Amino acid sequence: MLSMKVLQDNKEKFGVDFTKNKQALNDISKITSKTLKNKLAGYITKFIKNEFKAKIEKAKRIASTKEVELDGKKLDTVGDTQPTEASS
């Protein structure tokens, strides 16, 4: 697919903004068909947005499972510090 080839070679030039993606396509290619350019920019934009959403969901799942039990105490493994015991 043409849009995947463009993304593979120039992914750093694209983002979640359709208009900027159309401009990036203008900069890296000579597509004279407005319809084709819009379809490519739309597909690239949708692909990057979905990829971004998937990364956010994955990070949320990882963060929610980072809480573990350690000797009967909850330890948040996102931080590097262990819980301190309260002195009596």
pLDDT in tens, 44-83: 999 999 999 999 998 888 777 665 444 455 555 555 455 5
Whole-model pTM: value is 0.65
**Residue 48 CB neighbours (<10 A):** 17
pLDDT band of residue 6 (cuts 50, 70, 90) is confident
C-alpha 23/C-alpha 17 separation (Å) is: 10
Give pLDDT, residue 69: 45
Give pLDDT, residue 84: 55
